Amino acid sequence: MVDRNGAVIVFVVLACTACDGADDSAPTTLVPGALEANAVVEDVVDGDTIDATIDGRTDRVRLIGIDTPETKKPNTPVECFGPEATSFTESLLPVGTAIRIERDTVNRDDFGRLLGYVYRAEDGVFVNYESIRQGFATPLSIEPNTAYVELFVEAARSAESDDVGLWSACKE
């Protein structure tokens, strides 16, 4: 589990990296280098939900702190930039990708889905953050799972300022 102090330290590192002129379009690694995997991607359901095998059992995982436009919600039309958000998640997490899932305070939502911060194990890319920063998701904070709320809000501000992803495509 990542505590709030760890999240603040990560944010400071990202802010300093941005000052050095880093390319914001490149995937962000919050934890440098490879991570120990604890799951494998079985399917990308939509932009903010995946199926993963954990200890030999497949579980549906809802990415904490993000919301992507709907593509599969019953009786709901496909929302602007929903298919693109799903494709983006598929590009970061192809089937068979080793991942690390970190939990926050509450482990499951009302639908029984495991709630997690998802990192690509091979290089530490923080998928939840990257989806927001590249404009494929918006922050969605539901107490008490808010370890990265400040980081996610800042990522959304940057994406909106850069007019990328849904910020560009879904103007009303």
The one catalytic residue among 70, 90, 102, 160: 70
The one catalytic residue among 42, 62, 100, 133: 62
Q: How many other CB atoms sit within 10 Å of the CB of residue 80?
A: 15
Q: Known catalytic residue: 133?
A: no
Q: Known catalytic residue: 62?
A: yes
Residues 6+ apart with CB under 8 A from 29: 123, 124, 125, 126
The one catalytic residue among 84, 100, 113, 133: 113
Q: Known catalytic residue: 113?
A: yes
Please, which residues bridge with residue 51 across strands?
Answer: 43, 60
ω into 77 cis (within 30 of 0): no
Q: What is the set of active-site residues?
A: 62, 70, 113
